[in-house]
Amino acid sequence: MNDNLKSHWDFAYEWKAVLLLSLGFGLVGIDRFMIMPLFPVMMKDLNLDYQDLGHITGALAIAWGISAMFTGNLSDRIGHRKVIIPAIIAFSLLAGLSGLATGMLSLVMIRALMGLAEGASAPASIIATLDASKPTRHGRNVGIQQVASPLFGLGLAPILVTQLLKYLPWHLIFAVVTIPGLIVAFLLWKVLRNTKPSAAAKHTAVHDATKHKWTDVLRYRNVPLNMLGMLCWLTCLIVLTALFPSYLIDYLRLDMQQMGYVLSAIGFGGSLGTLLMPALSDRVGRKPVMVVSVAGAAIFLSALMHTGPNPTLLFTHLMLTLLFIFSLITLTVGPLSAESVPPKLMSTASGLVVGVGEVFGGGVAPAIAGYVAKHFGIQHIMYLGLIALAAGFVVALCLKETAPARLKVAPSAITLAD
């Protein structure tokens, strides 16, 4: 057991830490995605086009992925506090600096630096949440921590920033979000304990505890499949977050407030998918939920493509599409990666899947989508999502089941995700 597992459990610390880490990850979501609903206004002031937005979005995703792949080991060596707190301060200040950008180059540089800070905070925050949690609440608490990003960044931020545009220029809206980040960083400095992330491994059932080279993760079939899967899921997600606001404004001719309302469906659908579908997979299996989720995402994305300027229908179809997309993402980076490899490769597998998905799915896809929007029309960008889901359906069919309930084995016979 780790330092926090005492005979008398410290419930107060658990809930303080989980709440603050959840708020921190929620701010990651706000800072990352608030630029999307602001972009229709920013592009006029800064003389940007759709392809520029693809480059700006892609730069952050690539930096995020590279950072996530390498900073997990850093937090193991120096502790959570020295990674999480500086990272939150850094990305909060950089989010504010986005309002001072004068063109594409400065925006790309600022957002790339932001991606490095946010990518550093993500794996450390997940392990810090596990370390603070009583073992019987691992899954629930990690779910609470993870759901804050889509709920805040994709659910509340579009409504908040589009309403703030009535009173503030877009430059100052970026500055406003810096303040909550600094407050959360201060509270984490007061509360978060400098425990070792590796201690969380003692909470996990162990089957093969021997050492392995990091390259051994590629020998387990689900890991390379999950890399391809993440590329597919993030391609669909980034297309729907980066360029969809401009699609609503420029193609469907919605106003800013209607656009903000429709776009909030991404966060609400993502939150439901993050909380509900992985829990369902514990009972019926990971693979069936993955297959159903790919099919569901494709069905509702197709419906979304054929929906006119009806905010209620757009909201409904977008929410259901993202419910299934976030189901796919959560299962892919969590149970399907961690349960497929020996315990000492769990973080390596998950980090590799996240990093590869972010760099290629989150980095390359926006540039392609921006090119399609600029040269063929923004109404065609969702075909990229459908193509990605078609490829992802093949990936889902090839996955190996890992859920203990479906394998009919004792929990101690496999490696568990939480």
* pLDDT averaged per 10 residues in sequence order, the chain, 418 residues: 51 90 90 82 82 79 83 68 91 88 86 90 75 63 78 81 86 87 94 63 47 76 92 86 83 85 85 84 86 96 93 94 92 78 71 79 76 83 91 95 65 37
Q: Which CATH superfamily is domain 204-418 in?
A: MFS general substrate transporter like domains (1.20.1250.20)
Containing 13, the helix (H) or strand (E) segment is helix 11-33
Quote the pLDDT of residue 297.
Answer: 96
> What are the residues whose beta carbons fall under 8 Å from the beta carbon of 20, sequence distance 6 or more?
184, 187, 188, 191, 192
Q: 304: which 2 tokens?
A: 């979304």
DSSP letter for 3, please. T
Nearest to 251 by CA among 305, 302, 317: 305
Gap between the Cα atoms of 224 and 357, Å rounded: 11
Gap between the Cα atoms of 144 and 22, Å rounded: 7
User: Which DSSP string do the residues of 221-263 spell out, in sequence order?
Assistant: THHHHHHHHHHHHHHHHHHHHHTHHHIIIIIS---HHHHHHHH
Gap between the Cα atoms of 356 and 105, Å rounded: 24
Residue 48 — φ and ψ, nearest 5°?
-105, 165
With vertex at residue 40, the alpha carbon angle to CA 361 and CA 65, rounded to the nearest 5 degrees, is: 20
**Number of Cβ within a 10 Å radius of residue 177:** 21
Q: 36: which 2 tokens?
A: 């999307």
Quote the pLDDT of residue 144.
Answer: 79
With vertex at residue 235, the alpha carbon angle to CA 31 and CA 97, rounded to the nearest 5 degrees, is: 20
Q: Which CATH superfamily is domain 10-196 in?
A: MFS general substrate transporter like domains (1.20.1250.20)
Helices 364-376 and 222-242 pack at an angle, to 10 degrees, of: 40
Q: Hey, what's the torsion of the CAs at 304, 310, 311, 316, to 10 degrees?
A: -40
Burial label, 409 (beta-carbon count in 10 A; 0-12, 13-18, 19+): exposed
Q: Where are the alpha helices (DSSP H) in 34-103?
A: 35-46, 50-78, 81-97
Quote the pLDDT of residue 73.
Answer: 62
Whole-structure pTM value? 0.73
> What are the residues whose beta carbons fall under 8 Å from the beta carbon of 90, sequence distance 6 or more?
113, 114, 117
Burial label, 93 (beta-carbon count in 10 A; 0-12, 13-18, 19+): middle
Gap between the Cα atoms of 270 and 241, Å rounded: 12
Quote the pLDDT of residue 4.
Answer: 44
Gap between the Cα atoms of 62 and 35, Å rounded: 17
Q: Taking the CA of residue 94 as centre, how many other CA atoms within 13 Å lie in the half-sphere pointing to its CB?
A: 25
**Backbone CA torsion sign across 210, 215, 217, 221:** negative
Nearest to 101 by CA among 167, 56, 37, 165: 56
Query: Where are the chain's structural domains?
Result: 10-196, 204-418
Nearest to 362 by CA among 393, 325, 394, 337: 325
HEC states along 111-159? HHHHHHHHHHHHHHHHHHHHHHCCHHHHHHHHHHHHHHHHHHHHHHHHH
Quote the pLDDT of residue 224.
Answer: 94
DSSP E strand stretches across 327-370 = none
Common-topology check for domains 10-196 and 204-418: yes
DSSP letter for 7, please. S
Helix/strand/coil for 377? coil
Q: Hey, what's the torsion of the CAs at 117, 122, 124, 128, to 10 degrees?
A: 130
Gap between the Cα atoms of 128 and 138, Å rounded: 11
Nearest to 174 by CA among 187, 184, 165: 165
